[in-house]
Amino acid sequence: MPRFMDDTISPYPLRIITLPIDASKLKLHSLRILNVGHLPGRIMYRDHAVFEKWAFVYISGGKGTYRVNGGPIQQVNSGSLFVFRPNTVYQYGPEPGGYWDEYYFTMEGSRVQEWQSSWLTQLDLVKQVGANDAAQHNRIERIFILMESGIPTNIDRAAMLVESLLFEFIMQAEATIETTKSQQFISLIEDLSQSLYQPFDAQLVARRHHISLSTLRRIVSEYSGYPLNTYMHRMKMAEAKNILLNTTNSVKEIAESLGYKDVFYFSRIFKKYVGVSPLIFRKTMHA
């Protein structure tokens, strides 16, 4: 595989393969690879980059930043994937004095637009798709080998492999996000459960988890199906039922222990979610 040196980009040999045949010889016209590259140990930072074609960049090592049209600076780490759209301004590259290991695939064709209508969304966000492992490395190397062969059918195969690789990357990113959300929800629920025996302070809970109040409400609603306050009332009423059945505490004592200063308000909430008043519930269950 051809390699060449460019000290302005990296101190290591670079591999860049441009489509080696006339595009008319390809059978796959809806998706075409224009070039692929491997830039190990990249040190160059680009401050105002504009591309004519789509490019997909996978960082297998190192770290840096990525910025689109002067927007927020996003962190890039090992296992990151990001996209270059045509006619858009990018600032990207490793940190000063640092490096990253970069693979890129420049593409064109109608299938790229099809991806955007289904699984390739939020184009301007860096996605964490997993650090380079043996399987990923082998698939990427196969793409390079097929491109280098110069055989039209092999180059078509390479394009399909890129599509498959990107799809798997995006699915991995979505799975990682869902896992993170689940872990965050578990942590929140544990915290909320520990708030049963005190007045509920949503702002305090949000600050403890370094999220906004609106994010706290959204997370609880997505995973429980209930608004935040409803969820807390339901948990407190479930605990109130347990106390009513297993202690002789008065309704006033139970209300105060669960953070309700007004016993009449507590009784109204209890009847709303249980269907009967606290005293009737205790009598019925003990009958």
CA distances 185 to 135, 178, 213, 230, Å, are 32, 10, 14, 16
Over residues 52-103, the pLDDT tens digits come to 999 999 999 999 999 999 999 999 999 999 999 999 999 999 999 999 999 9
**Identity of the amino acid at 221:** S
pLDDT in tens, 9-30: 999 999 999 999 999 999 999 9
pLDDT at 152 over 70: yes
Tally the residues of the chain. Answer: 287
Better-predicted residue by pLDDT, 236 or 222 = 236
Of all residues in the chain, the percent with pLDDT exceeding 70 is: 97
Asked if 239 and 193 count as a contact pair (C-beta separation under 8 A), the reply is no
**What percentage of the chain reaches a pLDDT higher than 90?**
77
Name which of 126, 47, 43, 44 is nearest 89 in CA terms. 47
Instruction: Report residue 154 as tokens.
Output: 């092999």
How much is the pLDDT for 178?
Answer: 67
pLDDT for the residue numbered 258 = 95
- 3 state SS for the chain: CCCEEECCCEEEEEEEEECCCCHHHCCCCCCEEEEEEEEEEECCCEEEEEECCEEEEEEEEECEEEEECCCCCEEECCCEEEEECECCEEEEEECCCCCEEEEEEEEECHHHHHHHCCCCCCCCCCEECCCCCHHHHHHHHHHHHHHHHCCHHHHHHHHHHHHHHHHHHHHHHHHHHHHHHHHHHHHHHHHHHCCCCCCCCHHHHHHHCCCCHHHHHHHHHHHHCCCHHHHHHHHHHHHHHHHHHHCCCCHHHHHHHCCCCCHHHHHHHHHHHHCCCHHHHHHHHHC
- pLDDT tier at 132 (50, 70, 90 boundaries)? low
- Residue 68 has what pLDDT? 97
Q: pLDDT tens across 243-260, in order?
A: 999 999 999 999 999 999
152-193 and 134-149 are packed helices; what angle lies between their axes, rounded to 10 degrees?
A: 160
Asked if residue 220 lies in contact with residue 226, where contact means CB atoms within 8 angstroms, the answer is: yes
Name the region of 109 (left: φ>0; alpha: ψ -120 to 50; beta: rest). Answer: left
- Give the CA distances from residue 252 to residues 4, 20, 74, 190, 248, in Å, rounded to whole numbers and listed in that order: 81, 82, 53, 26, 11
CA 47 to chain centroid: 26
What pLDDT digit, counting tens, does each position of 197-227 carry? Answer: 988 899 999 999 888 999 999 988 988 899 9
In the structure, what pLDDT confidence band is assigned to residue 134 with cuts at 50, 70 and 90? confident
pLDDT score of 287: 63
In the chain, the domains with their CATH numbers are: 4-178 (2.60.120.280), 194-287 (1.10.10.60)
pLDDT, position 186: 83
Give mean pLDDT, residues 35-47: 97
pLDDT at 1 over 70: no
Quick check: 196 pLDDT over 60? yes
Write the burial class of residue 54 (CB in 10 Å: 0-12 exposed, 13-18 middle, 19+ buried): buried
